[in-house]
Structure 1
Amino acid sequence: MSKRKPTSSIRSGGMGRGLAMSLAGLRAGGAFALDGALARLRPGSDAQAEAGDSEFLRREARRFVAELGRLKGTYVKIGQMFALLGEHFLPRALTDALQELNAATEPLPWAEIEPALRASLGVRLDELEVEHEALAAASLAQVHRATVRASGERICLKVQYPGLRDVIDSDFDTVVRMLLLARWLPAGRQLDDWLEAMRQHLHHEIDYQREARLGDLMAGHVNATGAAPGGCPYHVPRRHARYCASDVLALEYIDGHLVTDAAVSRLSQSRRNALGRGMLDLFFRELYSWGLLQTDPNFGNYLIRREARSDQLVLLDFGSTLECEAHFLQHLGGAIAAGLEQDREALLESLIGLGCLNEASSAYARDTFIDFCFALLEPLRPPAQLPAEYLNAEGDYCWGRSQLLRRAGKRAASSAASLDFATPSRDFALIARKLTGVFTFIAVLDAQFNGHALVAPHIARWRRGGA
């Protein structure tokens, strides 16, 4: 793996980095135009679909994404954001390629991080014994473990890369300009609103004061909450305000496992079921009770801490937390409730309220998107309505065996292909992505349980107005 560019290049290399991206965009734009022309010449082909998903264009998309990966830093983060939220208006060839971007990178050496920490914490840094080797490094920050000398307590320092705030807007504009040059990004007022929402989302990722505030709010909710029925308790690492700054976040160090670790797969079926229930219950608590949703489905944002009596689900990283507005929650709550009750008319009304469908949408667009919603909510149906082929001998839904997201994804592609399918709001796209992340987490656990009994009380309480 290549070394990360030194700090000076992050601060002053914007012109060279932007030029490289513009050249990549010009090349991709020519490829897109040529591929579209060739597609129109193919007899019996759907030119629009082929121009966005041919092998030729996939090859050019991979070239462009490789350039993003080479430039590293903010470009990788921006590319990942477009992979997460851009599937509603970017060609599939590009979003598929962007999903291969890896945020993991070589950390900056201690000689460059230590002056930044000293500038942020001043004499408080002398109160800590900081390990010089980073625990982890990503596109925007790296994490160091430290010990508070006075107490011996171990903490984690999330340190933002120096100079990041100076380049983040120009790097975002460069990627957008490249996408326009490549003709991968259509013009329009609705898209302008989306791009500004994405820019704001990116700024939230580097706003550690906001992340600290929302982390504290989430910790307050978690501390007042018990475990889900048959589920696991939650834990938010305690924040050490004394060692926080505008570009440093200090949190309690937790020793735990990722859901993908072999140690988790070796847990008993009942323990994995409890973790799965806990993850599903957490989603509906965030959505219905707290109005505060951590929208990044990355597995690295959760740790599993094994305990003698009950495993804990540790919640990390609140940089991409969404503070949901009441009218949006009203429509979303109605959509989920109608989806579970198979009420097509009520679901249609809620989807229009969410901006996913228009009043003038065709019957085909309405039916295909409603069918997609019904398919996605399959694990939450009453037991009698669950597909028998995905149940175990006890009648429990097998999340891993169901391949739900692959099956539902085919319906989603059919919906999005309709010309009168509306680009959904950013909030809906974030929550839809989070829900698929939750389902994937449970599937990786290979959990086996029915979700209806867990979800139904949340919906009933929401209908009573949160009483």
Structure 2
Amino acid sequence: MTNNKPIRRGALSRGLSLSIAGARAGGAFAFDSALRKLRGEEAGNSERLDREAQRFARSLGELKGSYVKIGQLFALLGEHFLPAPLTAALHQLESQAQPLPWRHVEPLLRDSLGSRYKELQIESDALAAASLAQVHRAQVIATKEMVVVKVQYPDLAAMLDEDFDAVVKMLRLARWIPISRDFDSWLQTLRAQLHAEIDYPREMAVAQQLASALPKYDSLTVDGVSLVVPNFWPRYSGSRWLTMDYVSGFQAGSSEVAALPQARRNALGRLMLELFFVEVFELGLMQSDPNFGNYLISAEGDQLTLLDFGSVMSLEKSVQQALCDTIVAGHCNDDAALLSGLQRLGCLKDDAGSHAQQTFRNFVVNLLEPLRPPSELPPEFLNQSGDYCWGRSALLNRTGRHVAKSVTSRQFTIPSGDFALVARKLTGVFTFIAVLNAEFNAYDVIAPYLNRKAPVKKRSRQRT
């Protein structure tokens, strides 16, 4: 089967497939626009454009490896300013990763581990597979401890920039992304994110940093539910492979988690939100990939385990401060401070028109809806006890529709890459909570930060 073939190599064979897909899609895009102009219609999505977007996504899926990851990143971070057919098609890549056969993986591990390979009993069937690596469960023979070994796909690092450039070239050929300095900056953020995710020594260092820092925050234990960072094994880790403790559990959208008591799901949701505020306001380290596969919930629902640290981004101090100011200003309806924060984040130019200013203001304010004081929450989304029902609120759909109607304006400025990552993180957190069908008011989560003008150290507070 083609799904079990090694990742294709070579710029010619890989780039050619994308160039063909790009040319076809570019023709479809131009054809669709011309027809609608003749009809006097607004820009829209024809069936042909949908088909060509699907064709392009399939081309990425067939090439595998970094091409799939690049497509996933574009889908996650570009959904507010890339054509809807393209993002819809690229989102399908999130469930298409297939593992390489053991015969291709086993030699890599033998060469990498050397004599240490015999210290592990590694299962040949992959436990999980992603676009850049796959995971195998193993046992440390001497201690009987269970671990997982993440193996990076061969030659990935050498091809990453070349593959990224090929996808960008195709998207521009298809007229799906603009040629502008603003967008070039956004693309550089994506490129840096890709490189961070294959830097395994950095991933292990970040995980160890978080394992040391997170227990210091009392807010990260909520009604008996705590965070867990798995232990890493430096002896069995290197530049292209990484070993950590094996942790069992379920993803947020599973039936097992849905069956947990309401109070436990509420605590899990609050914990996820508390983690976001600690990451942004205090640590300046933020896990930017909201994929449910990056979190595991224990069978009892009393532990939330963090799994992926390759996508943890380090916020520059200026970006961290601007982001904190933007969140606080948006919550407090301080339009002047909000405008300043958005300008410092690179979302708005100094001479941005009123429409662009209002678009970003509304996006931030609407997104922060669940954090309002209880008396200001929309009553239609509250339960009988006055708690906000995250799943029923359909918050992200409402916010997304507003942005989609606004980004076609000529005044709209492409948001900075940092803002796109943070916005995606926050929407991912809210999606996580909504999928849990959690019911709680979140004002007391943001309240301790409202009077703070700069990132702070450890905070402690009692919850009544």
Please tell me the TM-score bracket, short chain as reference.
over 0.9
Report Cα offsets for 1:354-394 as digits up to 9, x if no partner: 12122222222222321222111100000000010100111
- C-alpha distance in 1 between matches for 2:204 and 2:351: 43
> Which residue matches 2:199?
207
Q: Deviations over 1:58-84 (max 9, x none)?
A: 222122112222222221111111112
Shift of 1:463: 5.2
Residues 222 and 235 of structure 1 are in contact (CA less than 8 Å); yes or no, is this contact kept in structure 2? Answer: no
Question: Larger deviation: 157-166 or 380-389?
Answer: 157-166
Q: Distance in 2 between matches of 1:346 and 1:17?
A: 47
Select the residue among 76, 82, 85 that pairs with 2:68.
76
Could you say which residue in structure 2 is the equivalent of 1:38? 35
Contact 2:348-2:413 at 8 Å conserved across structures? yes
CA RMSD, aligned part only? 1.8
Listed one character per residue, the Cα deviations across residues 70-122 of structure 1 (whole Å, up to 9, x for unaligned) are 22222111111111223354322212221121354332222221110011110
2:413 is matched with: 422
| Distance verdict in 2 for CA 1:198–1:159, change over 3 Å | same
For residue 91 of structure 2, what is the aligned residue in structure 1? 99
Residue 234 of structure 2 is aligned to residue 241 of structure 1: yes
Query: Residues 260-409 of structure 1: matches in 2 within 5 Å?
Result: 260-307=253-300, 311-409=302-400
Does structure 1 conserve the Cα–Cα contact (< 8 Å) formed by 2:185 and 2:417? no
User: Aligned to 1:3, what secondary structure does the other structure show?
Assistant: helix
1:187-240 CA distance string (max 9 Å, x none): 122222222222221111111111111111111112333334546210000001
Partner residue of 1:152 out of 123, 144, 153: 144
Aligned partner (choices 181, 195, 205) of residue 187 of structure 2: 195
Q: State the AA in 1 paired with 2:154.
A: P
Q: Which amino acid aligns with 1:286?
A: E
C-alpha distance in structure 2 between counterparts of 1:119 and 1:414, whole Å: 54
After the TM superposition, which residues 445-460 of structure 1 pair with which residues of structure 2 at under 5 Å, given as runs? 445-460=436-451
- Give the % identical residues: 53
1:136 aligns with: 128
Mark the CA change 1:434 to 1:205 in structure 2 (over 3 Å): closer, same or farther: same
* 2:24 aligned with 1:27: yes
What is the one-letter code of the residue matched to 1:381? R
Structure 2 residue aligned with 1:114 = 106
| In structure 1, distance between residues paired with 2:99 and 2:64 | 12
Of residues 90, 93, 108 in structure 1, which corresponds to 2:82? 90
Q: 2:172 aligns with which of 173, 180, 184?
A: 180
372 and 192 in structure 1: CA distance in 2 versus 1, 3 angstrom threshold? closer
Counterpart code for 1:394: S
Aligned mates of 1:177, 1:97 — CA distance in 2: 18
Alpha-carbon distance between aligned partners in 1 of 2:330 and 2:186, rounded to the nearest angstrom? 26
2:51 to 47, 59, 66: 59
Q: Is the 8 A contact 1:84 1:433 kept in 2?
A: yes
Distance 1:139 1:94 in 2: 19
Give the AA of the match of 2:112: S
